[in-house]
């Protein structure tokens, strides 16, 4: 309620900036469509409808589950923050937390770097670029479950092609136990995640690159800017809005990654590769403890929320500048 006058003020500013946007309501539907505010709500209506219909309830239900002792088939009782407390003291949860942060952080850096690089390469003229651009997407197109099965074979201690190549090149004398080693197992799932994610970054950034006016680049080149300078002074800042959104989405998806680990290691060996999602699934679905499972998967929701709100605010700020 207290927001209203401020909002009104902002609306006024908009009117001042674009005098045509306020039209007399007498013009009916046309007027409605010319009014910024009503048009905006109209345009947002389908989205709002679908999201409230299908997300609002499940989300509230999930939050409610996390504060109950619910198990499958039993709604349970309200237990306050007990589930969160239990997770807090759980050694496997700690491991999953560390894994998730490392996994998300490391893969995001690699995906962004490789994705940007690849986008810049693909933005050039070369033969068959159309097919290169489309086929580069294959790792992202193929159903994760199936590509992960293929990776399972590539990492398999008995059959690993990777080991064979390294061995033929004389780099190793003994096999590398990709998925069996405590640390290499995490590295392995990160490799698969990067493999899957690079095309997504590359193609979204490529689309962004294409909206950048090439004249800017040419003008800078004439002024004697090096390619590096041109990248950091022109391409990067102009691409920043798209980059931020892409990174944000990718971070959230990686943070909640499930299928990859579920197929490759199920969190093994000895919980070395558990992530929040796989552990929550194991507790919620595997052991039927819905309350605890929900608590585990929601444990970091507040943290994520703060990060996202901050980042969204930052994106909007950089855009208006």
Partner 1 sequence: MDAKRINRRQFIKVSGATAAVAATGLEGVLAARRAPAYAQGVTLNMVRWADFVPASDKLLRDEILPKAEKALGATIKLETINANDIQPRITAAIEGGGGPDIIMTQHNWQHLYEKGVVDVTDVAEKIGKAQGGFYKQSRDVAVSGGKFIAVPWSVVGLMIAYRKSWLAEEGAMKFPATWEEYRALGKKLKAKGRPIGQTMGHTFGDAPAFAYPYLWSWGGAEVDTNGKVVLNSKETLESVEFMVGFWKDAHDEGGLAWDDSSNNRAFLSGTICATLNGASIYIESLRKPDQYKTDKGEQLKTDILHATLPKGPKGQFAYHVPFSHMVMKYGKNQKLAKDLLLWLGTRENFDPWFVSQKGFSVGTTTDWEKHAIWKEDPIMLPYRDAARLGRAPGFAGPPNAKAAEVQTKYILTDIYAKAIQGMAPADAVKWAEGELKKIYG
Partner 2 sequence: MAMIEGSRWRKVAVFYAPLFAFIFGLLFPFYWMLVTTFRPDGELYRPWNRANYSPFWTMHPTLEHIRYLFSETLFGTWLYNTMFISIVSTLISLFCGLLAGYALARLRFNLAGSLGTSIFVTYLVPPTLLFIPLAEITRTFHLTDTPWALILTYPTFLIPFCTWLLMGYFKTIPKELEECARIDGATRVQAMVRIIFPIAMPGILSAGIFAFTLSWNEFIYALVFLSTTQQKTVPVGVVSELIRGDVFYWGPLMAGALLGSIPVAFVFAFFVEHYVAGLTGSVKG
Residues 9-28 that bind partner 2 (CB under 8 A): 10-11, 13-14, 18, 20-21
Find the shortest distance in angstroms from Cβ 102 to partner 2: 19
Instruction: Choose from partner 2, partner 1, none: what does 91 bind? Cβ within 5-8 Å by kind.
Output: partner 1
Side-chain-side CA neighbours of 221 within 13 Å: the count stands at 7
CA angle at 107 for the pair 106 and 108, rounded to the nearest 5°: 95
* Residue 258 found at the interface with partner 2 (CB under 8 A): yes
- Listing DSSP states for 205-235 in one string gives HHHHHHHS-HHHHHHHHHTT--HHHHIIIII
Cβ-based nearer residue to partner 2, 234 or 272: 234
| Cα distance between residue 133 and residue 199, in whole Å | 9
Cβ-based nearer residue to partner 1, 28 or 73: 73
Cβ-based nearer residue to partner 2, 102 or 252: 252
- What phi and psi, each to the nearest 5 degrees, are found at residue 231? -65, -50
**Letter string b/e over residues 204-241, b meaning 16 or more CB atoms within 10 A of that residue's CB:** bbbebbeeeeeeebeebeeeebeeeebeeebbeebbee
* Residue 286 found at the interface with partner 1 (CB under 8 A): yes
> What's the helix, strand, coil split of the chain in %, to 5?
75, 0, 25
| Cα distance between residue 47 and residue 321, in whole Å | 28
Residues 29-88 that bind partner 1 (CB under 8 A): 71-74, 86
Cβ-based nearer residue to partner 2, 143 or 170: 143
**75-83, 91-99, 102-110, 280-288 -> range binding partner 2 (CB under 8 A):** 280-288
Q: Residues with Cβ < 8 Å from 183, sequence gap 6 or more?
A: 272
* Residue 270 found at the interface with partner 1 (CB under 8 A): yes
* Residue 237 found at the interface with partner 2 (CB under 8 A): no
Taking each helix axis as running N to C, give the angle between helix 161-168 and helix 144-155, from 0 to 180 degrees, rounded to the nearest 10: 40
Binding-site member from 21, 69, 152, 217 for partner 1 (CB under 8 A): 152
Instruction: Choose from partner 2, partner 1, none: what does 69 bind? Cβ within 5-8 Å by kind.
Output: none
- What phi and psi, each to the nearest 5 degrees, are found at residue 180? -95, -20
Q: Residues with Cβ < 8 Å from 191, sequence gap 6 or more?
A: none
Binding-site member from 76, 241, 268, 269 for partner 2 (CB under 8 A): 241
Instruction: Choose from partner 1, partner 2, none: what does 295 bind? Cβ within 5-8 Å by kind.
Output: none
| Contact flags string 187-206 toward partner 2, x per CB under 8 A | --------x--xxx--xx-x
* Residue 23 found at the interface with partner 1 (CB under 8 A): no
Instruction: Choose from partner 1, partner 2, none: what does 203 bind? Cβ within 5-8 Å by kind.
Output: partner 2
Q: Which residues lie near partner 1 (CB under 8 A)?
A: 71-74, 86, 89-92, 152, 155-159, 175, 177-182, 185, 265-271, 282-290
């Amino acid at each position: 309620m207290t927001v209203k006058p401020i909002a009104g003020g902002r609306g006024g500013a908009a009117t001042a900036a674009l005098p045509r946007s306020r039209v007399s309501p007498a013009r009916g539907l046309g007027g409605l469509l010319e009014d910024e505010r009503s048009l905006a709500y109209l345009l947002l209506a389908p989205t709002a409808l679908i999201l409230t219909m299908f997300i609002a309830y499940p989300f509230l239900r999930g939050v409610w589950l996390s504060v109950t002792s619910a198990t499958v088939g039993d709604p349970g009782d309200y237990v306050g923050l007990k589930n969160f407390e239990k997770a807090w003291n759980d050694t496997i949860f700690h491991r999953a937390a560390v894994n998730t942060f490392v996994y998300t952080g490391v893969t995001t850096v690699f995906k962004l770097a490789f994705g940007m690089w690849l986008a810049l390469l693909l933005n050039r003229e070369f033969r068959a670029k159309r097919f290169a651009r489309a086929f580069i997407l294959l790792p992202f197109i193929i159903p994760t479950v199936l590509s992960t099965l293929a990776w399972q074979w590539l990492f398999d201690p008995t059959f690993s092609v990777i080991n064979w190549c390294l061995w033929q090149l004389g780099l190793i004398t003994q096999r590398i136990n990709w998925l069996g080693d405590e640390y290499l197992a995490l590295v392995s799932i990160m490799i698969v995640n990067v493999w899957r994610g690079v095309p997504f970054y590359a193609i979204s950034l490529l689309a962004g690159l294409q909206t950048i006016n090439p004249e800017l680049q040419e003008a800078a080149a004439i002024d004697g800017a090096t390619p590096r300078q041109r990248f950091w002074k022109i391409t990067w800042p102009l691409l920043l809005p798209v980059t931020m959104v892409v990174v944000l989405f990718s971070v959230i998806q990686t943070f909640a990654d499930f299928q990859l680990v579920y197929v490759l290691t199920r969190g093994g060996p000895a919980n070395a590769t558990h992530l929040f999602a796989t552990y929550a699934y194991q507790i919620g679905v595997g052991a039927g403890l819905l309350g605890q499972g929900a608590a585990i998967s929601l444990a970091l929701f507040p943290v994520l929320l703060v990060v996202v709100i901050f980042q969204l605010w930052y994106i909007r700020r950089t855009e208006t500048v």
